[in-house]
Structure 1
């Protein structure tokens, strides 16, 4: 069951710092009697809604700080005609987004709406185009949008303010779906229209308990608005020991955005410091159960972090790809990290979503490569594995923000290379990178099983081989060399 339905003022009081909320003035404008359609009784309905809620419209817009970060907040009042959108709602939303861009502030919609206002007909529905335009302009301005889905979030409000945000959080048990409960098919599974189901389907990032909402919002705002903080400190903290460095190859890498600052520092190696003697040794080290995985690297690198989840196309791969933003040496860094398993199509699409968002916000990106390869089962093909990998290749290639890559384990073919930065890829001593796994290479060449180890040597997949070939820049040293 959802939390008790809070009013607009109650949710604002819960998430903002005390006494910081300043309501934006409502844009001037008058409606025709009973609205643009002369819908009989519409004025009376509005008057009753105003008396019941104390509000003159279905949204309350203003500025406030959330754990010290200033933002524009848009809180829906569901008690006012079901939080529906009409022309005057659109006026307020447009004014709020314009204020955000003028003052370089992030936007936080706290959504609770049943959709567009029927008493205003198509004029109400077209407000969604206004909202979409304002959201797009804000995105182009490099300002983040973090939505909170309350109960209920349906119709056009979900399809614009909610699903269109950069990060989408939801309250437990909230009804979330394009179709509201009164219009969906009678035999529809109600569990599909919940916050939890939308997270599972990759359409929202996380369910957040109400008592933790302010802290969670504050963390996200600090991270997404902190891309330029501590740049000098971040540059000085490039501390991992590097050996065998080779000159970087650019290979058409996009020019970094001027506002992005220097690349994210390369993490230090957490595993063995010994370089593999043979290609097969490199494979064995990378496949060892004792080798540190992505979670260990992320925990060592970031003081705190927040994860995004889902490809916004119906899928998640939280077991195979970890994506989000964190604080490293006082600076925000985005991360996309493979976990050692075969990466699913949703994982590639989520990583591409992460990189595009970081690029818009001028936040550097760290990627950790560790996969035997892309998932190649029939279901992966049905989920468009090839286009998903192509999307990630394109996102990395087009990024203006700098991308730093560390190979921490297996680098299996194109499924690994899609996450790697051209000209700024490094490797740990217990990793390898190969055009194909040695076993598969031997099979393709019709060699017997006892030739697999020799094939690994011929492929030249050791970290030191990759430096010599100019494929990577260098090999990072351990924490305690």
Structure 2
């Protein structure tokens, strides 16, 4: 289990420039009742002991900080203060911090360590989650990014609002993360399911970050997510080694399937000076290693990317790409998509995971995005599983690519043609890059051949 740092100890990990917000005292109409709203005997004494032990007045510390070059509102939980629990005063502080972030147009970074809602305040404590959820929603609508760092432990409503509701979710190694705390789980529950690593594996969090890497990681994320732009992303130049376009449909397919043909990671490395990734579909479907999504810097501006890696795309991959496009759209960041898949995964497990609904959601996200989307077809473009990632009217192709309503082999099988007619079928499908230009499926061919 990772070392349990105090709120201010965690703040010191990420910034040397922190100024605590001056929060207004309760108005006369909102004086806190002795021993809380339930008149819980000894509650005020417990709070006093917690304050003396931690040096804090409440379970959260809120302030303005500079992380790298970016100013942000920082919210840090003090687990030593009644288990970092949320009460009415906690809600007051969180609401004030979010309001300050919106007023000053600042991103919000939450360093979470909490056991959940405060029992001594009963339902009044639990309803603070509604306040937090509303403040998070208002901040989202204002186009401001929210990042969360999950410390040990992050459980209950703190995980279900500030944590899981953030745009980017990072976690410290071996931190306990889950809605159910350790004392309320079934006795036979697998403890490994309630860890930061498990949450990343199931797609509920983006990455595990070691404490020494937390500052540079947050610095990069904040720089990338606070750099909006209105111009579309330029398509990357083709990395093709082929000086000519394919002469036949069969040649186009063979070149797109060639093992040594440049893949998405090579394009991303050449295109971005630095980049980072998001991971996971946020609905328990896990991750898809065949889909890379994230944000990077190209010519001094931020561009979001969703890139297929040449494998059949799984529902988690489509949902992660959808999540990326929604986030980029909200933050006014242009999107680049790279298409390279033989098609959507069509095994039974993919169907059980909702392949159709996942693809439909991505089609909708691309079609309705207000931020510009640019697409480059870099390899195989297999049917709707590839088209879902394509920008209407702003898709380009490389010389080593093809796009087809169906793979030639499958088309021949459906038409009950013999194997020797697959080549002729590929030609009839008109799937070569130059065919796609003529059919107005793509705008042009990227690279020296097309001059995109």
Q: Fold conserved (TM > 0.5)?
A: yes
* Displacement of 1:477: 1.3
Alpha-carbon contact 1:306-1:325 (below 8 Å) kept: yes
Deviations 1:144-189 (A, max 9, x none): 0000000000000000000000000000000000000000000000
Paired with 2:450 and 2:170, the residues of 1 have a C-alpha distance of 39
Matches for 1:245-284 after TM superposition, within 5 Å = 261-271=230-240, 272-284=242-254
Paired with 1:394 and 1:479, the residues of 2 have a C-alpha distance of 32
2:25 corresponds to 1:28: yes
What is aligned with 1:11? 10
Matches for 1:217-296 after TM superposition, within 5 Å = 217-228=218-229, 261-271=230-240, 272-296=242-266
Alpha-carbon contact 2:170-2:207 (below 8 Å) kept: yes
* Displacement of 1:274: 1.6
SS at match of 2:260: coil
* Displacement of 1:273: 3.2
Alpha-carbon contact 1:200-1:315 (below 8 Å) kept: no
Matches for 1:296-445 after TM superposition, within 5 Å = 296-445=266-415
SS at match of 2:92: helix
SS at match of 2:376: strand
2:90 corresponds to 1:120: no
Alpha-carbon contact 1:27-1:92 (below 8 Å) kept: no
Paired with 1:147 and 1:478, the residues of 2 have a C-alpha distance of 43
Paired with 2:286 and 2:435, the residues of 1 have a C-alpha distance of 35
Alpha-carbon contact 1:27-1:91 (below 8 Å) kept: no
Paired with 1:128 and 1:279, the residues of 2 have a C-alpha distance of 58
Which one scores higher on RCO, CA 8 angstroms, separation ≥ 6?
1
SS at match of 2:312: coil
What is aligned with 1:256? none
What is aligned with 2:105? 104
What is aligned with 1:257? none
Paired with 1:189 and 1:104, the residues of 2 have a C-alpha distance of 42
* Displacement of 1:26: 2.4
Output the TM-score relative to the length of structure 2. 0.98
Paired with 1:23 and 1:317, the residues of 2 have a C-alpha distance of 38
Paired with 2:192 and 2:135, the residues of 1 have a C-alpha distance of 32
Q: Is the alpha carbon distance of 1:151 and 1:468 closer, same or farther for their aligned partners in structure 2, counting shifts above 3 Å?
A: same
Paired with 1:319 and 1:12, the residues of 2 have a C-alpha distance of 33
The runs of at least 4 aligned residues of structure 1 exceeding 4 Å deviation read 478-481
Paired with 2:275 and 2:231, the residues of 1 have a C-alpha distance of 20
Paired with 1:479 and 1:472, the residues of 2 have a C-alpha distance of 14
* Displacement of 1:115: 0.2
Alpha-carbon contact 1:349-1:392 (below 8 Å) kept: yes
Paired with 1:480 and 1:389, the residues of 2 have a C-alpha distance of 30
The farther-off stretch of 344-353 and 272-281 is 272-281
Aligned residue-pair number: 446
2:429 corresponds to 1:463: no
Paired with 2:117 and 2:22, the residues of 1 have a C-alpha distance of 23
SS at match of 1:310: coil
Output the TM-score relative to the length of structure 1. 0.92
Alpha-carbon contact 2:288-2:314 (below 8 Å) kept: no
* Displacement of 1:31: 1.5
Q: Is the alpha carbon distance of 1:478 and 1:290 closer, same or farther for their aligned partners in structure 2, counting shifts above 3 Å?
A: farther
What is aligned with 1:239? none
Unmatched runs of 5 consecutive residues or more in structure 2: none
2:418 corresponds to 1:451: no
What is aligned with 2:178? 177
Deviations 1:393-435 (A, max 9, x none): 0100110000000000000000000000000000000000000
Deviations 1:189-248 (A, max 9, x none): 0000000000000000000000000000000000000123xxxxxxxxxxxxxxxxxxxx
Deviations 1:5-56 (A, max 9, x none): 111111111101x2x2110012312411100110000000000000000000
Alpha-carbon contact 1:273-1:477 (below 8 Å) kept: no
Q: CA RMSD in A?
A: 1.1
Paired with 1:316 and 1:273, the residues of 2 have a C-alpha distance of 40
Deviations 1:107-155 (A, max 9, x none): 0010000000000000000000000000000000000000000000000
* Displacement of 1:480: 13
